[in-house]
Amino acid sequence: MKSIFPLILVFLMSFGQAQEVSFQSGIVVEPSNHHFGKIPDNEKTSFSFRVFNRLKESFTITRVETSCGCAVATPTPALVTRGGSSEVKVTIDPHGRNGYFRWEIKILTDHPEVPLVFAATDATILRNAVLSEEYLYFGEFRRGASIKKEVWVAPQDQPNFEILSAQEELGGNPEQRYFDIQIKKGTYAGFYPGPRSAYLVSVQARRDIPYGRINGKIVLTTNLPQQKKLEIPLLARVAGEIGVKPDYISLGIIKENRPVTRKIYIYHRKGLDFNIKKISSSWPHLKIEEKVKVPDSYYEITVSVDRSQKMNKGEFRGNLIIETSDHEQSTIKVPLQGFVTN
């Protein structure tokens, strides 16, 4: 017994020390990492972490921060008593995202020794729709550049789906084409819940595409009775040597006795000389003033609403038309839009 007792005493002391170390190990998040796997891009998804208090005293979760505005985390309860726990619910809004993402969750407390603990979650976001992209945005590019955008098309559970034709609708001359469109069949892995047969629609800007802002859509004709046409919005900004900032005039809501004024600037990107010959508007209720900022190369144009004539209520769209001495950009059209109320 004399030989066993010291061993028991050592074991009990060791156990007590181990318990003390474990009890002082702080604030524990379980699990520290969570994997959502594949999730659709059009549905919010949530997961709850548990925050355990293994301290000798209570603490309060003062706030929870995430590495992205698309993730929101809420602790319940905020006060975590000794030996207790709190649920931190993290909700992910994946809309507008595609591919693999990882979110870091920072849990901040009022405890001086453990002011911060971490957790993390990740997911592969897949497109839960017919189109892999909601729109085709080309951004700003120089005329003549080889710019191409692509979109995959495939309705779920429609193995016999076909695209019969594709055409651009840009609001101008229907006979004039600004883009080349190609269609080929393949397999796309970015749709939810997994890869499926799809059509790849490639849209490439032509080298002779006109300067300025181009807004419209690509229209696909299909063999589906319930969805004979699919429309993909399109926006491109074709830049030349003469630049316009901003390249779009939004007059907003136009009310009686409320002045509305906007300014745009016309300049040569290389500082070369050019002149403005004439400025007009397809919407008749604009006052237009031109001011030379730098002779022959930089101009300020101010437009304001002229209410001397009666205006029809509702939305209007038109163009500010600028005629210049530049042989490449002799006519520049700047889209304008607004809404007339009482």
**pTM for the predicted model, two decimal places:** 0.76
| Domain 23-125 class, CATH top level | mainly beta
Give the number of other CB atoms < 10 A from CB of residue 181: 15
pLDDT digits (tens, 9 = 90+) for 139-163: 999 998 989 999 999 999 898 999 9
What's residue 259's pLDDT? 87
What's residue 311's pLDDT? 85
For the chain, the structural domain boundaries read: 23-125, 136-239, 242-340
In 3D, which of 38, 115, 107, 119 has the Cα closest to residue 75? 107
CA dist., res. 51 & res. 45, Å (int):
20
The CATH architecture to which 136-239 belongs is Sandwich (2.60)
Query: Do 34 and 103 form a contact (C-beta atoms < 8 A)?
Result: no
What's residue 20's pLDDT? 33
Q: How would you classify the pairing of strands 298-305 and 261-268? A: antiparallel
In 3D, which of 279, 278, 207, 209 has the Cα closest to residue 249? 279
Cβ-based neighbours of 220, under 8 Å, separated by 6 or more: 153, 163, 165, 166, 201, 229, 230, 231, 232
pLDDT digits (tens, 9 = 90+) for 170-182: 876 667 889 999 9
The helix or strand, by DSSP H or E, that contains position 326, with its residue range, turns out to be: none
In 3D, which of 135, 133, 244 has the Cα closest to residue 190? 133
In 3D, which of 258, 227, 102 has the Cα closest to residue 162? 227
CATH superfamily of 242-340: Immunoglobulins (2.60.40.10)
Cβ-based neighbours of 177, under 8 Å, separated by 6 or more: 168, 206
Domains 23-125 and 136-239 share a fold: yes
Torsion of CA 154, 159, 161, 162, to 10 degrees: 100
What's residue 25's pLDDT? 59
Q: Is the dihedral of CA 130, 135, 141, 144 positive or negative?
A: positive
pLDDT digits (tens, 9 = 90+) for 213-223: 898 999 999 99
What's residue 171's pLDDT? 73
What's residue 173's pLDDT? 65
Low-confidence ranges of the chain (pLDDT < 50): 1-2, 4-24
